[in-house]
Each structure stands twice: as C-alpha cells, then as structure tokens.
A = this chain, B = another copy of it.
Amino acid sequence: MITQSDSIVGANAGRSRGHNRQVVLGRIQNAVKIGRAEIARASGLSTQAVSNIIADLLADGLIVEKGYRAASRGLPVAQYALNPDGGFAVGIEIRPDAISAALLNLCGEPVALKRKKMAIRNRADVARAVGDMKTAVVESAGVSESALLGVGVVMPGPFGKTGLRGGATELAIWDDTSPQSWLSDVLELPVVVENDANAAAISEKVSGVAQGLESYAYIYFGAGLGLGVVHKGRLMAGAFGNAGEIGHLRVPSDNGLVALQDAVSRLSLTRALRADGFEATSVEDLSQLFRRENPSLVSWLERAVEPLSAAVSTVECLFDPQTIILGGAMPDNILDHLVCTTPLLDSSVSNRPDRSFPRLSRGTSGRMTATLGAAALVVNQAFTPKIVQQPQEV
C-alpha cells in the first residue's frame, strides 16, 4: 500500500513521549475504563509518568474522567475512558464509479456517512472528490476541523504495476509520487492509504469482533476477494503493499483449479445469479434472495464452500491466526451461512483444543465496511505505539 517503508528511527525525549501517549491511550481504549496505576503496571511505566500523560490527554480532551471505583482496599481508583468527541477520523473510499465517506469518533462509532455516484478517472478527480467528501461529512456532523485526527483513504488494490489485471491500477494515479503524500498535501492532514481488505480488518479491531485480538485475518468480499492480516496488532501489507491478494489464489473447484475470486466473491455471485435470470444490485437484494432460498443463490453457496474452505485452511496454515473474519459487501445472513457451513480441516494448526475464539467468525458487513475501515485506520493509529518489546538486549 505504498507506505513509505516504515523506517526505524532513533528514540529521543519527544518521540518517547509520543509513543508513551499512544501506549496509554491504547490501554484506555482496550480496557474501556481504567485507572492510572493499572496502566502503569501494564505498560512498564511509573505511575508518575502515567499521571503526567493522563493530565496531558485530559487537557487535549482525548479522555475523560469516568467515576471512581473502590476496588478491594486502598484509595479508590480514578478511572478514565476515551472521550468519544475527543477526536474524529475521516474515512474515504474511492471506487471507479463512486466515492463514499464516513466520520468516526474516537471510540470508533460512526457519526456521519455519505455516498455519491461519480466517475473518477484521474488524479484531479480524486483530489476534488476527496476534498469535497471530507468537507461534506465533517460539516454534516458539525465537527470542527481542528478535531480531525486524519484521513484514511481506501482504494482497491493491487497497488502499482503487478502481473494482475484490473483493480485501481487503472485509475492511473500511481505514477510518480505516492497518493499518501500528495493527498496529505492537498488535505493538510495526516493521510493513510490502504486497500479495502486491510481497512476492513482494522475496522474490526477498533470496533468489532477483533477488539482485543492481536493476530487475525479478514477475508473481505469486495468486487473480488481480499485478505487483510493483522499480526501482533499491526497490518501486514507485504513488501510492496500488495499482500493479501487472496482472490488470485488458485483453488480446486468442480472445474479444476480456478482463481478463488472466480468462485467466491460478490462478482462471481452476481454473475451466477444473472446466468439464471436473477438480478441483485444491492446487499439487501442478496439478503432477500437468501431468505427466499433462491435456488441459484443456494447452488452458488454450495459451490462456494469448498473453495472457501481451501482458502481458509491456507490462511490458517500460513498465518496461524486467532480467528478468521468473513465480511464485506455481502449480507449478514449469507456471511453467517458461510461461517457455519464452510468445512474446517481437522489437520490444521488452528485446530487446537484450547481455542478461545472460533476459527471462523463474521465481521462487519455491508456497503460501507471499507469506508468505515478507512476511518478506523486513522483511529487505530492513535492507539498503536511504536515500540515493540524484544525478549532481551545486547
């Protein structure tokens, strides 16, 4: 995703403070309600340091005091929680034919959504559309510009020149500078650019089934099929930002090996339905067809589970995640059906007796998943610190 390779930098007082702020914020988010002493224990900082940072965060309005709790003995703890209105993140999803935007508060709750059909062909279109949508969504929620944490932008991958046809490549905006940097210049705000699957994955971490999870995978139904992988709390984007092109995985099906997304994806389903004379343009249409046990849909589902099962077991083998989430532009009932009916191999690293999460689960679905995810990327950054402890030092 065209991140400028996260370079590793030296630490100094200022950067340490920034990091520690994020550590503390992350703990608060994770615990919902927590006191200073507990944060200190969990983060390896002194209570005093945590106290100072808490004071900062209060002053910045990012957190609020949330009552006292008399634990066992001792002075009752003053608890803190995120201030939902302490900051807002804009999420923008760009597709060749439409653009949508979302505004999320610090807790990851949506406070505004917009969607607009429009053709986007070049860089100027993108810049204008993104700017307009950002303004629209911010104004409709009545949020001040200064409360914006940043903008997350989602475009379908793969990014750059690859051996895969199709995708956003055709927007032809990847040529010289990275979209991340020029969008950041245009918007005068921090910008994160990701593909839809990765954004959806982070969305589940910020406010969804992946809350508290460290390592998981998200199989995303877009036009094709994408995979977002979070490992130790961080997105795994691949050397060139195109990891997780799971749609192009070769899987066995009735007619030999096919690309996974030819068997399992929104597009493959739409095509199958159309071949049988059914039309479904929205997620709701599909949901209805499923409720009515449309034979064409049922047959597609029957054909889809085997390839999907192969993909799931591949992901389990290679990533050993805590869970695999299914989500995206599909109705809940279909996703739930897939979660229930996809056979899981017994001979898998994931088939461990002591699991605390199901091997497969359903995530956020619907049209706006990726857009919400775009904003979630920004919220997530506020909570993800930079330091990873290593076992020991030299």
Contacts and interface: CB of A to CB of B under 8 A. Distances in A.
A8 B239 contact: no
A190 B351 contact: no
Contact of A214 (B44, B239, B351, B390): B239
A27 to B, nearest CB: 9
A394 B163 contact: no
Contact of A318 (B21, B245, B250): B245
A246 B216 CA distance: 18
A238 B321 contact: yes
Interface string A222-233: 000001010111
A373 to B, nearest CB: 16
A168 to B, nearest CB: 13
A176 to B, nearest CB: 14
A73 to B, nearest CB: 26
Interface string A136-169: 0000000000000110000000101111110000
A73 B22 CA distance: 43
Interface in A1-30: 3-12, 15-16, 18-26
A187 interface: no
Given A23-B8, A243-B318, A347 B389 contact: no
A69 B393 CA distance: 31
A392 B4 CA distance: 12
Nearest to A45: B10
Contacts of A7: 389
Contact of A320 (B49, B192, B245, B250): B245
A165 B345 CA distance: 13
A245 to B, nearest CB: 5
Nearest to A353: B161
B349 A162 contact: yes
Nearest to A163: B351
Number of copies: 2
A314 to B, nearest CB: 6
Contact of A240 (B23, B236, B240, B320): B320
Contacts of A12: 16, 45, 49
Contact of A44 (B10, B18, B347): B10
B389 A190 contact: no
Interface in A299-326: 310, 313-315, 317-322
A56 to B, nearest CB: 11
A61 to B, nearest CB: 12
A150 to B, nearest CB: 7
Contact of A349 (B240, B386, B393): B240
A62 interface: yes
Nearest to A3: B391
Contacts of A391: 3-4, 180, 190, 192, 381
A18 to B, nearest CB: 5
A348 interface: yes
A252 interface: yes
Interface in A363-394: 381-382, 384-394
A97 interface: no
A327 interface: no
5 contacts: A231-B236, A240-B349, A318-B319, A381-B391, A386-B388
